[in-house]
Amino acid sequence: MTNRPAAGDAGTPAGVAARLTGRPVTGERPLSPALAEVTLDDGHLVMVKRADDPGAARAEAAGLRWLADAGTVRVPTVQGHDDHWLVTDLVRSGPPSTAAAVRFGRDLAALHAAGAPAFGAPPPGGLEDAWIGLAPMRNVPGPDWPRWYAGHRVLPYLRRAVDDGIVRGAEAAVVERACERLPELAGPAEPPARLHGDLWNGNVLWGDDGHVRLIDPAAHGGHRETDLAMLRLFGCPYLDRVIEGYQDGAPLADGWADRIGLHQLFPLLVHAVLFGRSYAEQALTAARRTLAQ
């Protein structure tokens, strides 16, 4: 741990923590170019995160608070933020466990049931032009999930992937056909759920107190199966037990497992835009499997 002055330099994580929390700082430990662990004067540990895009930290803070307001899944408490910096409580990590996984599933079901004003609705105080990871993401409300999901989640990233040469025009038609058939493939209509929105395994922290905490949300109103599909896409410890807990809390509609690929189109195309062709191929495979049903 690197010692710092009580107030610190305003441009350093220590200085940011002092400014945004109003507390003296006694130490700083860099974790990455954009992340640092900072110790406040009473020994309390916080994480300080820098976001390059203006407003990104504010959007993330709004998402964390919206998830916390549901009183279900745990998230780190927001201690302060501005447009470029976010300060939250540190999560002390522990090993994954079956008990924590089942509890997380139940809590996630309750989070989704807390609802949202509309599909695409941003959190209170959030942004219409937000982000998922490093990719832009627009939170534009829509009246029904199939049309909103196609128009504001799948097709914008497909078009960008085509423009960037990651997906060929003939291939794009496969995803477009899947979008056209969304009304018949989406399953029973459901109300807007309160989504984490970027629920891959890296954003699921297993705490040393036996509770899961979620970080880095791209929170918005959406379909609850999308969060679950993203958990499966990138793997999650004890995922079957998470699903078990979820089903205990709020049973999923019949056929939900057959719709996983449909819900994975969005994160796969986001990753294709950010990281290249291999994710585009996975998205095309998911679209073909969806059309084969």
198 flagged as catalytic: yes
Dist. CA 223–CA 212, nearest whole Å: 21
* Residue type, position 285, single letter: T
Q: Out of 107, 198, 216, 227, which one is annotated catalytic?
A: 198
Handedness of CA 143, 147, 152, 154 (dihedral sign): positive
Dist. CA 8–CA 64, nearest whole Å: 26
Closest CA to 35 of 18, 49, 17: 49
- CA geometry: angle at 238 spanning 285 and 257, to 5°? 40
**Which residues 6+ apart lie within 8 Å of 205 measured at CB?**
91, 93, 212, 213, 214, 215
- Are the C-beta atoms of 2 and 29 separated by less than 8 Å? yes
Closest CA to 85 of 11, 152, 139: 11
Q: Which residue has the tokens 């004067």?
A: 41
Distance of CA 179 to the CA centre of its chain: 22
Query: Which residues are part of the catalytic machinery?
Result: 198
